[in-house]
Structure 1
Amino acid sequence: MTNKEEKTLILVNLGGPRSSSEIEIFLRDLFSDPFVFDLPLPEFLRIRLARFIAKKRAPKVKKTYESMGFGGGSPLVTETEKQAKVLEGILTKCSGTPWKVKVAMACGFPNIRDSEFTKPNPNTLYLPLYPQFSRSTVLSTLAILEEKFGECPVGSGGYVPHFGLTSKFHELTAQFIYEFFTDQLKKFQFLHYPEDKPNCDWKELDIVFSAHGVPMRLIHKGDRYMDEVEVSVNGIVAELRKYGFNGSVHISYQSKVGPAKWTEPSTIQKISELASNGKHIAVYPISFVSDHLETLEEIGEQFKELTLEKGGKSFVRIPALGVYEPFLQFLAEQTLAADNSLQHCICKERGGESLRHCRFKN
């Protein structure tokens, strides 16, 4: 009997500096991406401006990272590595085939452009960890891989599609939120696990589903991100109602950068409004699957402080999914079904344009 060939899954995330020395590199990668830093400028000017902004922002961002208590960097890479380790075991056990799960980042290190990350095919699969499609996340990742390998991964058998629209994801996320409020989660698995609980029945809370914002310029180019966030939230809330949740639900967007118009309402606006009306508030990071700067610092500290300042009765940060077992089991199922799941151009459908080497172009 011959040994089965090992398969490789590469979990792709946006990235974060692992230490203070990587902050400027991370920001430079981030702002150099044309799908993230999308401006109507000649490319050479856009790149120069991106590098200038990265250098200027680095000292301020450094102070924020230092305050988080992770050695001056972000925990995103290590949190993604934890997910990879658990997922590797699930895939190997479920498929009977040996799997290796690696971690790659679009910005910073380990960088997706490195030679160790090889061409997508049925034995080397890429899974971007973004629940909803956006030009700034999923399309950006596909464009990086297209530039590297000369073809878009969609339809290659080596790409696992985004998952935020699926009913199974809605079910497991609602279950996760329910288990959080009923103290059923394994606290040791989560960073800075929120010990505060609402001083009211959780079923009557106002839950704010906070997504990472994007510039409206991307939406005007055909990005369906806001639609996808709404579908995700509606699906999760429908499942939460089955657990008896009767509270109000809100969608908002966080992490705006620069003067341009971004997706609204902002989470700051929404929390200010709810807190001023004396609400009990919980915030769930709908577009994140790992805790990091935006969830731990922005949601967990800044939004909590804002709530109490504005008169809110209580505030709770709901963690990101992290290594929640039903979530990783779900990702394993998505991975094993990836080969035949896409036979059309999702970039055009969800992001407004096909990449140059799309195999589905007419």
Structure 2
Amino acid sequence: MSHKPQKTLVLVNLGGPRNTAEIEVFLTDLFTDPFVFDLPLPEFLRLPLARFIAKKRSPKVKKIYESMGFGGGSPLVSETEKQARTIERILNQKTNVTWTVKVAMTCGFPHIRDKEFGKPSTDTIYLPLYPQFSRSTVLSTLNHLEKKFKECPVGSGGYVPSFASDPKFHQISAKFIFDFFTGALKPEDFLHFPTQKTTLDWREMDLVFSAHGVPMRLIRKGDRYMEEIESSVNGITNELRLFGFRGQIHISYQSKVGPAKWTGPSSLEMISSLAKEGKQIAVYPISFVSDHLETLEEIGEQFKDLALELGAKAFIRIPAFGIYPPFIEYLAEKVLAVDKSIHHCFCKEMGGESLSTCRFKYGS
């Protein structure tokens, strides 16, 4: 009797507290990550400072999560689990393999360091859900895996790289935005699906691509995140023009924490400026693939209230992909195409740094 081969796919995201009790744990994981909370301090100073900040911010963050209506936590884990179930079904339909798709987070639970997540290989594939490379997301994920398995997964056959410059990603993103504005999406597939109506022509709107910001310190270390964002936006814009979009395009960055200089312009500044000019504004979360705090609360509530107060004719939040079928199909294709064809250190190329166990550190 023959048995189907078995494979595991692990979808990796940053994470979020699933309930109030997990908030401080999530923040501690976040701020103790050296690729996220990157300060020029020795570890014996950096780690206690990170834990102090996490503890101090917890009460404020708790109030924000409570206001979102998801039981005091973030919907990011559950939304990623919906994506996992959807891609698992597609992979099992497309192949003669029994696929199991799991969800792992680099902050909070279920944590990527847990025993259930095995060593990257052609049978255990890791897919970080970050379209653009950044030290704070992709390199952080690779660092977690290297610490756990004593080798960098890049080149193992068990790792799917980021896809910001892929023309197919641009096409799917543009089609998603078009489908949103033309009423082709299923509202029940999304959290807090925007229901506001406007008589204005979407093709004439000012479209803001809002990305999660990172400290400029990371950019100075060689992180090409801003270039990745620009590559995504340029490709998507070209595709949107084919759908008749004629409006102005803007890039901005949100979610700044602390006094240090971050990537800019900030989304708050960008939206304030456009609102004062009486623009009709649409915001698309270019660096996110599922809705959570930054899209639902920051864009959907804070930015919206500010824009309308300052005089915007309209403000529309475009959701993140979620389980949008073309996007999930695209991810499945990326997984099925993964192999050992990576022959260089793209961490060094894209993030300015090779990990200590990099296969290609001293080669081509």
Identify whether the pair has TM-score above 0.5, normalized to the shorter chain: yes
> Which residue does the alignment assign to 2:230?
230
Find the aligned partners of 1:282 and 1:169 in 2 and give their Cα distance: 20
Where in structure 2 are the equivalents of 1:1-362 lying within 5 Å?
2-362=2-362
Residue identity in the other structure for 1:52: F
Structure 1, unaligned stretches of length 5 or more?
A: none
Residue identity in the other structure for 1:174: A
Shift of 1:92: 1.1
Deviations 1:128-162 (A, max 9, x none): 00000000000000000001000000000000111
Shift of 1:3: 1.3
Find the aligned partners of 2:197 and 2:90 in 1 and give their Cα distance: 32
Shift of 1:96: 2.0
State the identity as a percent.
Answer: 70
Local SS of the residue matching 2:37 = coil
Local SS of the residue matching 1:200 = coil
* Runs of 4+ with >2 A deviation: none
Q: What TM-score comes out, normalization by structure 1 length?
A: 0.99
Shift of 1:341: 4.2
Contact kept, 8 Å, 2:174 with 2:239, in 1: the verdict is: yes
Deviations 1:224-266 (A, max 9, x none): 0000000000000100000000000000000000000000000
Residue identity in the other structure for 1:145: L
Find the aligned partners of 1:330 and 1:117 in 2 and give their Cα distance: 23
Q: Say what the alpha-carbon RMSD is for the aligned residues.
A: 0.7
Find the aligned partners of 1:344 and 1:114 in 2 and give their Cα distance: 29
Shift of 1:197: 3.2
Deviations 1:171-205 (A, max 9, x none): 00100000000000011000000001333100000
Find the aligned partners of 1:288 and 1:169 in 2 and give their Cα distance: 13
Shift of 1:91: 0.8
Shift of 1:85: 0.1
Structure 2, unaligned stretches of length 5 or more?
A: none
Find the aligned partners of 1:359 and 1:340 in 2 and give their Cα distance: 12
Contact kept, 8 Å, 1:198 with 1:280, in 2: the verdict is: no
Find the aligned partners of 1:349 and 1:60 in 2 and give their Cα distance: 38
Residue identity in the other structure for 1:191: L
Find the aligned partners of 1:41 and 1:208 in 2 and give their Cα distance: 36
Find the aligned partners of 1:197 and 1:230 in 2 and give their Cα distance: 30
Find the aligned partners of 1:350 and 1:199 in 2 and give their Cα distance: 43
Residue identity in the other structure for 1:282: A
Find the aligned partners of 1:213 and 1:182 in 2 and give their Cα distance: 30
Residue identity in the other structure for 2:146: E
Shift of 1:123: 0.3
Find the aligned partners of 1:105 and 1:72 in 2 and give their Cα distance: 18
Contact kept, 8 Å, 1:198 with 1:315, in 2: the verdict is: no
Residue identity in the other structure for 1:139: L
Shift of 1:165: 1.4
Deviations 1:9-56 (A, max 9, x none): 000000000000000000000000000000000101100000000000
Residue identity in the other structure for 1:230: E
Deviations 1:329-359 (A, max 9, x none): 0000000111144221110000001000000
Contact kept, 8 Å, 1:206 with 1:282, in 2: the verdict is: yes
Find the aligned partners of 1:85 and 1:197 in 2 and give their Cα distance: 32
Residue identity in the other structure for 2:63: K
Local SS of the residue matching 2:339 = helix
Contact kept, 8 Å, 2:75 with 2:292, in 1: the verdict is: yes
Contact kept, 8 Å, 1:8 with 1:101, in 2: the verdict is: yes
Find the aligned partners of 2:167 and 2:95 in 1 and give their Cα distance: 23
Find the aligned partners of 2:168 and 2:237 in 1 and give their Cα distance: 13
Deviations 1:290-320 (A, max 9, x none): 0000000000000000101111110000000
Shift of 1:4: 2.1
Q: How many residues align?
A: 362
Local SS of the residue matching 1:335 = helix
Residue identity in the other structure for 1:3: H
Find the aligned partners of 2:252 and 2:197 in 1 and give their Cα distance: 22
